[in-house]
Amino acid sequence: MSAPLSWPVVPTGSLDIDLVGDFSCPWTFLGTRRLARALDHLHGVTVRELRWHPFRLHRPEVESTVDWRAHLASRLPKGVSVELAESSLAEAGGELGIRFDFSKLAGLPDTTDAHRLAKLAVAEGLHGPVLDAIFRAYFEQGRDIGDVEVLAAIGAECGLSGGLLAQLRDPKAGYAEVVDDERRLLLLGVNSIPNLLLNRQVLVPGPADEKIYVKALDQALFPVVEGAKKH
């Protein structure tokens, strides 16, 4: 079974990770687990910082209720059925320790508060476990991650303090940060997820397998020196 991502935040290190995604995106969930496996190939390298960037697939200010299957169908290439996509996702997830249960999904949740929780968890260094726990709650357990009390329970399960969970229950805490972060991504032309940026220089757009992440990590950690190309 593949372990979830664990991101220690330390004063020194050599790897920064920027991850753009949404908790209602199964490919983002797969991406976090594949990245975790790719990081297992590194030795003597510390993750200095993880920056999670929200890109909501369901923005309530834009659209109302969204059906899960209809949403999934809208993201698939022509000719690929929802049934085939769910089967492929379940197979890929099984190899990473993810037990997708799409039968438990009805509507696409508003993930604004889930992103707020992820942002708030940075203060206690638990954003890595919280990210994975939110994904598991939705895709494996069918819990309503659009509900603040459900999110508070998830946060408590991850060891977040009562004070931080009290902030979560304040709808203004972290809200502007989520919306502003997402607005910047839209202005930069981001229109799909997941997206991964390593050391602010190596971009992996869209879903990718473990081998691509390993190669990207290698490029980020050991960039080719321009002068070396001439020899």
Q: The whole model's pTM is what? A: 0.88
What residues does each domain of the chain span?
A: 15-230
Of 39-48, 174-183, 212-221, the one with minimum mean pLDDT is 39-48
Helix, coil or strand: residue 195: strand
Are 154 and 133 within 8 A, CB to CB? yes
15-230 has CATH 3.10.110.10 classification: no
For the chain, what's the residue count?
Answer: 231
Region 206-229: what's the mean pLDDT? 79
- Give residue-wise pLDDT tens across range 87-102: 999 999 999 999 999 9
Q: How many CA atoms lie within 13 A of 177 on its CB side?
A: 16
For 66, other C-beta atoms within 10 Å of its C-beta total: 17
Q: What percent of the chain has pLDDT over 90?
A: 70
Region 30-44: what's the mean pLDDT? 87
Are 193 and 55 within 8 A, CB to CB? yes
pLDDT at 5: 59
For 149, other C-beta atoms within 10 Å of its C-beta total: 11
Give the pair of three-digit tokens for residue 144: 């309503």
Helix, coil or strand: residue 197: strand
**pLDDT above 50 (res 144):** yes
Give the separation between CA 142 and CA 55, rounded to whole angstroms: 21
pLDDT at 4: 62
Question: Residue 160 is inside which H or E element, if any?
Answer: none
**pLDDT above 80 (res 187):** yes
Helix, coil or strand: residue 108: coil
Region 121-150: what's the mean pLDDT? 96
Are 41 and 13 within 8 A, CB to CB? no
Question: Residue 47 is inside which H or E element, if any?
Answer: strand 47-54
Are 45 and 104 within 8 A, CB to CB? no
Give the separation between CA 91 and CA 202, rounded to whole angstroms: 28
Buried b (16+ CB within 10 A) or exposed e, 95-108: ebebebebeebebb
More confident residue, 168 or 15: 168
